[in-house]
Amino acid sequence: MPTVQADNLSKTFHVADKQPGMLGTLRHFINRSYRAVQAVRDVSFAIEPGEVVGFLGPNGAGKTTTLKMLTGLIHPTSGSVSVLGQVPFKRRPDLLRQVTLVMGQKQQMIWDLPPMESLRVNAAVYGIPEDEARRRIDELAEMLTISDEMTRPVRKLSLGERMKCELMAALIHHPRVLFLDEPTLGLDVNAQTAVRNFLREYNRQHGASILLTSHYMADITALCDRVVMIHKGGLIYDGRLAGVVNRFAPFREVKLELASDADESVMARYGEVESIQGRVVRLLVNRDGLTATVNRLLSEQDVTDLTVSDPPIEEVIGRVFDDGEPGDTDEYTTGADSV
Amino acid sequence: MTQAFAQSRTGWRRKLGVLFVVHYAEMLQYRVEIALWAVATMLPLIMMGVWAQAGESGLFPFSQVLMLRYFIAVYLVWQVTIVWTIHHFEFLVVTGRLSPMLLHPVDPCVRFILMHLAEQGTRLPFALGIVGLFLFLYPDTLTGGEGGDIWWPGWWNITLALAACYFAFILRFFMQYALCMVAFWHERVTALDAIQYLPHLFLSGMVFPFEVLPEPIREVLLWTPFPYTVWFPASLLVHGEAPVLRGFLTMAGWTVAFFILYRVLWHKGLKHYSAMGA
C-alpha cells in the first residue's frame, strides 16, 4: 500500500481583486469582487514506503498548496488524499505522530527562547520520554552540526541554523512521512550539503517516505530518483529523474572546438546555437538528426574537438516550465517514464 | 487497562508540565511588558477611588470599607481572568503559523490555556505588589477603619473565590475562543472582541458593584455570563453573599455553551483555513 496516495486532487481559492488607486480602493470597500483561482487541478500520484520524491514546479505552480492538502492543513475542493491509510484532514493523533511538514524557518521555534526549549515542547507533545528525547536531540544536533547552538535564543541564530532547528523540531518524533517545502532555501553551500546528507541518512535509517520541493536542482539530484512535476496547478510529469531529459529534451548538446573563430550564422545551419565563445560553440541538435548533423559538421567544418552530451537537467526543467501549459498534461504524463 | 490509564495520565501531566514551564520561560522574557500590563489593568483601583467616596455618602448598600475591599478584589480577579487569545489567534491564522500547531497531536486550545496560565504566573507578583501598595495607601481596607482586627475573609470564602476565579477564567477563555473561530472567515477578528469588551466592562461588575443596581436589573444580568467573570468571584472573597450554587451552575452552563460553539466553528473553520503565509 502506498504511503501517500493523492487522487484527482484539486483546490480552488477565492481571492479578492483590488484595482490600484483611490477609485479602486473605494470600489474594493463598497463592492468587493472575487475571482476563483485554481491552485491545483486533478493531481494524482502515489509515494511508496521509503521513497524520496522530488516535487518540482515554478513559483505559484501549486506545490505548497498540494503539500498543505497532503498534510491535512487545508481541505481539497475535490479529490481525495490518503496518508498511511488515513485521511489527513481528520487529524487523528496516531497519524499526526507519524507525519511532519517543514515549511520555512519561522514555524515551530519559540523566537525568544533557545531551540532546546522548543524541542522539549515537541518531545512532550509527541509523548517522547525525557531520556529518549535528550538522546534524539543530541543525535539530531550532531548530524546537523548544530550542537553548540542549542542554548542560544532562536532570534540570535543565523538563517541556516534556524532551518536546521526547524528540521530537528520536525523530526524529533521520528516521523515515517516527511513533507519538506524548500528545506535548503537561503542556506549557504555548506549548510545545504549538511541538510542533504542529513536527509539521506534519515531516510536510510528510518525508511521514511519523503516528498521534497526545492528550487535547487542539486537537492533533487542528490536525493531523489523520482520527480513529480507540476505547472500551473496541473501535473506534467511523474517519473524517474533521468527520464526528464529524454522526455522533455528532444535534443542533445554538441560542444565543438573549431580551428578558427566560429560564425554564428554558419553554426545556426546545424542546430540551435546556445553560445559561442571564440572557437568554442555549444549547439542544441535534435536527437533524430544527431548522427547526420555531426557527420556534416565534421566534413564541412575544421573541427578540432567535439563532444555530445545531454543538456543540464536544470536547463531542461527550466525550459519545461517556461513553455509548458497545463493543457499539455495528457501529452506529458503517464508516458514511458511514468512510475 | 489501569496501567494504560496511569501511563496516559503521567503522559498528560508531563505534557502540561513542560508546556507550562516553557511558556512561563517565554513570558518571563518580557519583564517590562509584564509590569506594564499589571499597571494597565488598574481600572478597578481607579474605580475604587470613585466608589469609596460614594460609599462614604451612605446612599449605597456598601460601606466605604466594603467598596475598597470589593475593588481590590476585582483587580485581583481581573489578573486571573484576563484573556488575550483573540490577538494571538488572529496573528496565527493570518500568518499561517497555526499550521505547525495543527500538525501536533495536542489540540492548540490546550497550549493557549497554558500560555495564559503561564502569563498569569509572571504577572501576579507585580499585581500583588500593586495591591500591597494600595493597602498601604488605604489601611482602612484591612482594619475596617476603626483600628479593628486585620480583615480575613476566611478559608471557605477564599477557597470558593479561588475556584470561582479559575472557573471565570475558563468561561472567559471559551467566550473569547469561540469568537476567535471567526478568524477563519474574517481575518481582523479582534474588531469583534471590541464588541464584547463593552458589555464585559460594564456588566461584569468591573466599574460598579452589582449591589448598587435595582433588583430587577440585577436579576436579568445574573442570567448572562458577564457578572460571573468578575462580580461573582470578587463578592465571594469580600463578603461571601453571592449565590454560590446558582453562580457555579450558570458559569458551567455558559462554559459548556461556548465550548460547543467553539467546537462547531472550529470544525467548520478548519475547512476554510488556507494556511496563509506558510
Is B130 inside a domain boundary?
yes
Predicted pLDDT at B192: 85
Judge: A124–B102 Cβ closer than 8 Å, yes or no.
no
CA–chain centroid gap for B221, Å, is 18
Any residues with CB less than 8 A from the CB of A197 and at least 6 apart, and which?
none
Looking at the 3D structure of chain B, how many domains does it have? 1
What is A4-10+41-245's CATH number? 3.40.50.300
Domain that holds residue B162: 10-272
CATH among 1.20.58.340, 1.10.10.10, 3.30.70.980, 3.40.630.30 for A250-309: 3.30.70.980
Would you place residue B232 in the very low, low, confident or very high pLDDT band (cuts 50, 70, 90)?
very high
Which one of A73, A110, A122 has the shortest CB-CB distance to B275?
Answer: A73
CA distances (Å), origin B241, targets A86, B157, B160: 55, 10, 11
CA distances (Å), origin A310, targets A216, A245, A286: 19, 7, 11
The CATH 3.30.70.980 portion of chain A extends over 250-309
CA gyration radius, chain B: 20
Find the closest chain A residue to B93 by CA distance: A73
CA gyration radius, chain A: 24
- Substitution target in A107, A134, A185 with the highest count of B β-carbons within 10 Å is A107
Predicted pLDDT at B17: 93
Rounded to a whole number of angstroms, the distance from the CA of B30 to the nearest CA of chain A is: 9
Specify which residues A255 forms β-bridges with.
A282, A307
Q: Would an 8 Å CB–CB cutoff place A120 in contact with chain B?
A: yes
Predicted pLDDT at B255: 98
Is B39 inside a domain boundary?
yes
SS3 A35: strand
CA distances (Å), origin A188, targets A111, A148, A160, A219, B48: 22, 19, 7, 13, 61
- Substitution target in B8, B14, B22, B186 with the highest count of A β-carbons within 10 Å is B22
| A-contacting residues in B 82-111 (Cβ below 8 Å) | 97, 99-100, 102-106
CA distances (Å), origin B229, targets A198, B88, B199: 52, 21, 12
Judge: A100–B19 Cβ closer than 8 Å, yes or no.
no
**Could you give the dihedral angle defined by the CA atoms of residues A121, A122, A124 and A126, in that order, rounded to the nearest 10 degrees?**
160
Task: Find out whether A211 and A178 touch, Cβ atoms under 8 Å.
Answer: yes
pLDDT at residue B132 greater than cutoff 50: yes
Q: Say what percent of chain B tops pLDDT 90.
A: 55
- B73 exposure class (CB count in 10 Å sphere: 0-12, 13-18, 19+): buried
Cell of B29: 522574557
Is B1 inside a domain boundary?
no
pLDDT at residue B80 greater than cutoff 60: yes
Q: Say what percent of chain B tops pLDDT 70.
A: 94
Which has more pLDDT, A303 or B147? A303
Is B4 inside a domain boundary?
no
Judge: A113–B22 Cβ closer than 8 Å, yes or no.
yes
SS3 content of chain A, % helix, strand, coil (to 5): 40, 30, 30
Cα–Cα distance, A76 to A89 (Å, whole number): 9
For A238, phi and psi rounded to 5 degrees? -145, 105
Predicted pLDDT at B2: 66
The CATH 3.40.50.300 portion of chain A extends over 4-10+41-245
Q: Would an 8 Å CB–CB cutoff place B271 in contact with chain A?
A: yes
Judge: B29–A113 Cβ closer than 8 Å, yes or no.
yes
How many interchain CB pairs under 8 A, A with B? 76
Predicted pLDDT at A335: 33
Query: If we measure between CA atoms, which residue out of B172, B194, B203 comes closest to residue B90?
Result: B194
Query: If we measure between CA atoms, which residue out of B225, B233, B69, B250 comes closest to residue B158?
Result: B233
The amino acid present at A302, given as its one-letter code, is D
Residue labelled with grid coordinates 467548520: B268
Q: pLDDT tens for residues B10-48? A: 788 889 999 999 999 999 888 788 888 888 888 888 888
Give the count of beta carbons closer than 10 Å to the beta carbon of residue B242. 23
pTM, to two decimals:
0.84
Per-residue pLDDT tens listing for chain A (339 residues): 899 999 999 999 888 888 888 888 888 888 888 888 899 999 999 999 999 999 998 888 899 999 999 999 999 999 999 999 999 999 999 999 999 999 876 678 998 999 999 999 999 999 999 999 999 999 999 888 888 989 999 999 988 889 899 999 999 999 999 999 988 887 788 888 888 998 999 999 999 999 999 888 888 989 999 999 998 899 999 999 888 877 777 788 899 999 989 889 999 999 989 889 999 999 989 888 899 999 999 999 999 999 988 777 777 777 777 765 444 433 334 333 333
Q: Would an 8 Å CB–CB cutoff place A72 in contact with chain B?
A: yes
Query: If we measure between CA atoms, which residue out of A190, A252, A195 comes closest to residue A223?
Result: A195
Predicted pLDDT at B51: 79
Predicted pLDDT at B66: 86
Q: Locate all alpha helices (DSSP H) within B138-243, ordered by sequence.
A: 140-143, 155-180, 190-203, 215-221, 231-238
Predicted pLDDT at A45: 96
pLDDT at residue B186 greater than cutoff 80: yes
